[in-house]
Structure 1
Amino acid sequence: MSPSAEITLYLSARDKIVALTSGTGRRWAETALDLAGFTETPDGLHTLALEDQAQARHALTHLHQAALNCQVAVTTHPRPYLGDIAEAIVTALPGHWMADIEPLREQRDQHYLRDFVWETGALHGLLETNRLGFTAILRDGGGTELLLAERPSDGSYIVGALAPSPDYVRVTAPAPRSVIASNARLATRFIQTRLLPDYERAVHLSRLAEAEEDLRWAQESEAGPYDTVDLQAALYRFRAHATAFIATLRATTPLPVEQAVFLDRVEKGLSLDDLDGPDPEALAEAGTVWLHDGEELIEMARAATPPAYPTPAKPKALSTAALPPPAVTAVTPAPRR
């Protein structure tokens, strides 16, 4: 009779073993872990401390016996615990990043995450076709969310962006490209130099598209910019985008005096210090500023669009006819990999 559940053991750098249960008979797997002396964490994982090696060996021996009795398979994962990789990445990234570990006990857990992946490429396909144990969501606290996963084919790590919430911005720009690295250090470097700039550019372009669409619609509307629920919603979106545009413009090279004065006036007129609920009079003023100065702000923001990360060029194929004949006495060393 084949086991109806499986326990996968991951060795963590924090002197512990992390156990992940999966399968239809997962309760039997959890029972085996409890009998062996594993500690259940608030997120439903089980861990075994390794400080006392004799006790740890005894617990692992007991686990294999209990798993046999409960008809549960026990396997050891060959790679480090993904939670350690995630913590190493968020610790090295600038700012205040946090990592949330996502145990994937069933295939539907992966499909749920897949639906939020922005790029329909390698990471999307990995969640679609491979059986993973864990993923990790990396958050910066400002709305940026990245998904970290391990590729079973070669043990490398892939990091891609999760699509921003539609309440934040309706994404229309090309999705940022995922990055692949062999270790946490390289993953951190690629996130900083490729993924995050790609992400910021895509969000910026999506903001521009949504802000321009709302402004054109408001200009063509016969009602005032705050007279209907839809117009109020469009104005609210524009004010949120304007906050990001102004912050981006001020963070770039020093602005000419007239542009700096313009931004100060727009910021005050849109009541950006009170996005949640300005009074009706301030809302009316914000609507007037939106219609009068919105286009100029959009154009300034468009000029400040972050540059695209260059796509690596494919090497040109060399014709064998163009290669010089090898010298008879020369020894050609093997190329470095």
Structure 2
Amino acid sequence: MPWKPPAEIALALSPRAGIVAVAHGEHYQWAQTALKLVGFHRRDDGAFALAVDDPQAARDAVHQLIRTARRHQATVTTSNRRYLGDVADEIAAHLPGPWSAKVGVHSHPVWQHDLLPWLWDAGELIHAVQTERLPYTAILTDDTGIELLLIERPRHQHDYVLGAFAPNGFDEHVAKTSPPRSIVLPAAPGQAAQAIANRFLPAYHHALHTRRWATVAFALERIREEYDARQAITESGRSSDSSPMNPDHIPDLEGQSANFTWQEFLDVLTHAPALLDQCRPATTTWPEDAAALHRLRDALAQGTGILANWNARLDDLRQTPAGLPAETYGDAKAERDALMLPVIEAWMAEREVFLRQARAAAPLHPLAAHDHAVRALTPVPTHAPGASSARR
């Protein structure tokens, strides 16, 4: 990140709030002091604002702030952009469905790096968060939990950049796996919202579906491998290192296997419902899969209930007096595993059906959809034998 003054004040205009200021830098407190002395008031979002009645009052306030900031070793920068919070609110209002916007202020330079572990991007957005100074950002959220990060595009006068946060329910490696690339947005909120709705969100849903499918497929494969390994040990009477298996160790082996299978199947319970909701067997080459999908839905509902009951049981166990027998947890866990076993077996039996139907239900990537539309609507030119096609 390039060198910056120890204290800075970034100014922007807001039709609703007047002059909006963000204090930032390694000694951002110096800038905050200057703002307070001039009469700026702290907002709920962490920025400061000063209401002004006319352009001359605004100019006078800025001149006074510059003089005061200089005495506190802070620099003032002005922008032709509107305040990011207003832009984010207007974009949210133009998006289909209920969306809300919230500004995040990153006064100290290291604070913006808290965003990095949660970003799901391999494009311009994550690069900007890593290398550029971003005093403030905005988060757009819809009613399904999608969270998008909006920033002013560094080194550009008008554009913005938007990308996604990693969705809930995935491990820490999700940000590195097939993310939707951030996009550049125009300054006009209506056009920006159109680009998000028509380009970014379809790419986001395509990437999310792909990630969910891969997560469930991986979990089911790991369960199958664990079952095969346990069966091989049980039938051979030998451990994985080929040494003779002590029969007394078999209960421990089965308990470890049950724990492993439970943990892996949690990914199925988390991500399979959304995938099942998108499956339309009648539109695929395998319409006969409908009955299997129905069985999987029933098993999933049963498994979700078992998980809810287990979580409630855990809460009860945490409140159990220490004087009760220690095997209480073990008994509850054994009951849980016995109840979940038929659910897991149902999914293992129909896993290939599920995976092919879920793969077939993947939303079309917006670029692929565009190419498909072009191919469908544009007639293929015909040429005489030996003639060359026109230059594109």
TM-score, normalising length from structure 1? 0.79
Q: Paired residue for 1:162?
A: 165
Counterpart Cα distance in 1 of 2:20 and 2:30: 17
Residues 252/186 of structure 1: CA separation in 2 closer, same or farther (3 Å cut): farther
Kindly state the Cα deviation for residue 52 of structure 1 after the two structures are TM-superposed: 7.7
Secondary structure of 1:8's counterpart equals strand
Q: Paired residue for 2:154?
A: 152
CA contact (8 A) 1:207 1:241 kept: yes
After superposition, where does 1:102-251 map in structure 2 within 5 Å? 102-154=104-156, 155-165=158-168, 167=170, 171=174, 173-183=177-187, 184-222=189-227, 228-249=258-279
Kindly state the Cα deviation for residue 163 of structure 1 after the two structures are TM-superposed: 2.7
Counterpart Cα distance in 1 of 2:296 and 2:225: 21
Unaligned runs of 5+ in 2: 231-253, 311-335, 372-388
Kindly state the Cα deviation for residue 127 of structure 1 after the two structures are TM-superposed: 2.4
After superposition, what is the alpha-carbon deviation per residue over 1:116-140, rounded to whole angstroms, capped at 9, x for unaligned?
3323222222223332332212222
CA contact (8 A) 1:194 1:309 kept: yes
CA contact (8 A) 1:225 1:288 kept: no
CA contact (8 A) 2:122 2:182 kept: no
After superposition, what is the alpha-carbon deviation per residue over 1:91-134, rounded to whole angstroms, capped at 9, x for unaligned?
22222322221223233233332443323222222223332332
Range with greater deviation from structure 2 (242-251 or 270-279): 270-279
Counterpart Cα distance in 1 of 2:223 and 2:111: 41
Q: Paired residue for 1:83?
A: 85
Secondary structure of 1:63's counterpart equals helix
Kindly state the Cα deviation for residue 74 of structure 1 after the two structures are TM-superposed: 2.2
Residues 230/95 of structure 1: CA separation in 2 closer, same or farther (3 Å cut): farther
Kindly state the Cα deviation for residue 217 of structure 1 after the two structures are TM-superposed: 2.0
Q: Paired residue for 2:378?
A: none
CA contact (8 A) 2:169 2:270 kept: no
Check if 1:310 corresponds to 2:372. no
CA contact (8 A) 2:216 2:271 kept: yes
Q: Paired residue for 1:277?
A: 308
Range with greater deviation from structure 2 (256-265 or 193-202): 256-265
Amino acid of the residue matched to residue 300 of structure 1? Q
CA contact (8 A) 2:45 2:103 kept: no
CA contact (8 A) 1:36 1:66 kept: yes
Kindly state the Cα deviation for residue 300 of structure 1 after the two structures are TM-superposed: 0.7
Counterpart Cα distance in 2 of 1:235 and 1:250: 24
Range with greater deviation from structure 2 (277-286 or 197-206): 277-286
Q: Paired residue for 1:335?
A: none
Counterpart Cα distance in 2 of 1:251 and 1:45: 52
Larger radius of gyration: 2
Over the matched positions of the two proteins, sequence identity in percent amounts to: 34
Q: Paired residue for 1:327?
A: none
Kindly state the Cα deviation for residue 170 of structure 1 after the two structures are TM-superposed: 5.6
Kindly state the Cα deviation for residue 4 of structure 1 after the two structures are TM-superposed: 4.0
After superposition, what is the alpha-carbon deviation per residue over 1:228-280, rounded to whole angstroms, capped at 9, x for unaligned?
22210111111222201111126996999854443332112122653742463
After superposition, what is the alpha-carbon deviation per residue over 1:164-221, rounded to whole angstroms, capped at 9, x for unaligned?
3463796375221221122222221121112111111112112212211221221232
Residues 173/9 of structure 1: CA separation in 2 closer, same or farther (3 Å cut): closer
Residues 234/273 of structure 1: CA separation in 2 closer, same or farther (3 Å cut): closer
Residues 113/173 of structure 1: CA separation in 2 closer, same or farther (3 Å cut): closer
Range with greater deviation from structure 2 (145-154 or 116-125): 116-125
After superposition, what is the alpha-carbon deviation per residue over 1:54-92, rounded to whole angstroms, capped at 9, x for unaligned?
876765554344324333322222211111111112222
Kindly state the Cα deviation for residue 51 of structure 1 after the two structures are TM-superposed: 5.0
Counterpart Cα distance in 2 of 1:235 and 1:77: 52
Residues 57/119 of structure 1: CA separation in 2 closer, same or farther (3 Å cut): closer
Amino acid of the residue matched to residue 247 of structure 1? D
Residues 76/297 of structure 1: CA separation in 2 closer, same or farther (3 Å cut): same
CA contact (8 A) 1:226 1:287 kept: no
Check if 1:288 corresponds to 2:345. yes
CA contact (8 A) 2:284 2:360 kept: no
Counterpart Cα distance in 2 of 1:225 and 1:251: 37
CA contact (8 A) 1:226 1:283 kept: no
Counterpart Cα distance in 2 of 1:51 and 1:45: 20
Residues 272/284 of structure 1: CA separation in 2 closer, same or farther (3 Å cut): closer
Counterpart Cα distance in 2 of 1:241 and 1:3: 47
Counterpart Cα distance in 1 of 2:270 and 2:143: 17
Range with greater deviation from structure 2 (65-74 or 37-46): 65-74
Superposed CA RMSD: 3.4
Unaligned runs of 5+ in 1: 314-321, 324-337
Range with greater deviation from structure 2 (165-174 or 117-126): 165-174
CA contact (8 A) 1:102 1:137 kept: yes
Counterpart Cα distance in 2 of 1:169 and 1:32: 41
Range with greater deviation from structure 2 (63-72 or 12-21): 63-72
Check if 1:300 corresponds to 2:302. no
Range with greater deviation from structure 2 (240-249 or 251-260): 251-260
